[in-house]
Amino acid sequence: MTADQQTRDLYDQFLSLHPQRNEPFLPTLENLQRWAWHIKEASSRPDGDKVDTSNRELAEKVARSRAFSQFIQMPAYMQDRYLKIAGLFPGIQFYACGSRVTGEYIETWSGESIKRLRKQLGKPPKEESDYDVVADIPHGIAVNEIREQLPPWADLLQHGVPPEEKIPIPMWDFSRLPDHEHENVLRLYSEQRWGELMLMHNRYVLSMNVYCCNEAPIIRYFGWAIEKGIIKANDTQTATSGMDQ
């Protein structure tokens, strides 16, 4: 079977799970990941689109079967959205929460039974669930300041989220950047060589993302790390240069 045939087969399997969904065949990476995830879930979890949700206890059981307790358990398309949120705010720890964590979420391609499930659980009718987050907001940063920068499909909650319903969204980890690369980062940043900084990010896996074309997070995060002194000139080299003068 050729790669094109495999892709089409994946799409056909996805449509068989959602016969009411009129989705065009657009084999983007995000769509391929989403189709594959739903096919895998259909074989390993109770089929939410075929279960009787007239009983609240059963509806809660189905929701728990769709819930997540770790970020890595989420499908790639969800991870991508949450990482986009966290990527807007260097240094702030965000947590996924809400219906996408508890399993009560709905997608634009969800079937009628998921809509009934949400109704049984007292959830408002909607086509697609928001990407709810909470955050450890540092002193001096206003909640509205963060809300104004969020994408339209995201929402920042403030209070009342139980600890067991919060999943940390991975942040950039600059401890993975070797000390000998700090000087290189400073040089590349000052010369605005964003592509080379992308390669450095990917080489040392500074976050769960793999960057290839979007410069904004690279500029934002490396700039923040330099401003905070996380990435800095080699003190030993500086001291030695001073002694030589």
Average pLDDT, the chain: 84
240 pLDDT exceeds 60? no
Cβ(58)–Cβ(117) under 8 Å? no
Confidence band for 46, pLDDT divided at 50, 70 and 90: very low
Shared-domain flag, residues 163 and 52: yes
The interaxial angle of helices 194-203 and 215-227, nearest 10 deg, is 80
The pLDDT tens digits for 85-138 are 998 899 899 999 999 999 999 998 888 889 999 999 999 999 999 999 999 988
What was the pLDDT predicted at 35? 73
Whether 240 is covered by a domain: the verdict is no
Same domain, 155 and 55: yes
CB 137 within 8 A of CB 92: yes
Cβ distance 226 to 181 under 8 Å? Answer: no
Element (H, E) at 242: helix 235-244
Q: Are both 81 and 105 inside the same structural domain? A: yes
Place of tokens 């700090």: 182
Tell me, yes or no, whether 112 lies in a domain: yes
Number of domains, the chain: 3
Q: Considering the domain boundaries, does residue 2 fall inside one?
A: yes
Phi, psi for 198 (deg, rounded to 5):
-60, -45
Please tell me which residue, 100 or 57, carries the higher pLDDT value. 100
pTM as predicted: 0.70
- Please give the Cα distance from 167 to 170 (Å, whole number): 9
205 and 105 in one domain? no
Residue 197, C-beta contacts closer than 8 angstroms, at least 6 positions apart: 185, 188, 189, 218, 222
61 and 151 co-located in one domain: yes
Asked if residue 216 has pLDDT above 90, the reply is: no
- Tell me: do 130 and 87 sit in the same domain: yes
| Residue 182, domain extent | 174-235
Q: Are residues 90 and 147 in the same domain?
A: yes
Residue 52 lies in a domain: yes
